[in-house]
Structure 1
């Protein structure tokens, strides 16, 4: 009886790793696409830092104040003159102001908000870095 020579496997030892690599790349692509679903602000601001207390405010309109005095309401730039009309009927408001914004402009903004009938304006800030709880 003749003995057959065992056939050598033509594939590499790492053939089982290829599906794992495919899955990892698919997950990488998924998270790259899904990771940026939220719309960004129309201009860059650096929020003021403060100690956080209590829960975050609800979904009230968001007003952005840039360091140069520009305004944006819910992602669209708006002029100072059009602000009271755009806020008519809004009782609550979230304000995200640049840390370098002029305090006189912020005082003017508060007067405009009061005239528009806004009764609650919450300033959104970043927490100060410090010792953990």
Structure 2
């Protein structure tokens, strides 16, 4: 009696050899993803500055940021409050080599940040480094 289904075509390879052939694309994909994240991830040469409200240091030190945004959404440059009209004159010129460093309070709302980013975009800033406190 003839079988209803023909036996699977194995091209003469053993089960282990066929499994190795099936795993090779997966291994290649994992390797390529690993290489992508190694190349894409950039390590900063300088450490992040202390942010407002940080309890890690005994003495409070202002962050090394160009602009500080308080929890109330107010903007400060060198501890002095600034308005939207004063930003262009008080901030350093936009540069691709040196991103604008913004220290933001951890309780700041996203709508406040979005408004600030829109203002900075109109002023020509394309590179921004946002410094925040980690959640505890």
TM-score bracket, normalised by the shorter chain, equals: 0.3 to 0.5
Higher relative contact order at CA 8 Å, sep ≥6: structure 1 or structure 2?
1
TM-score normalised by L of structure 1: 0.47
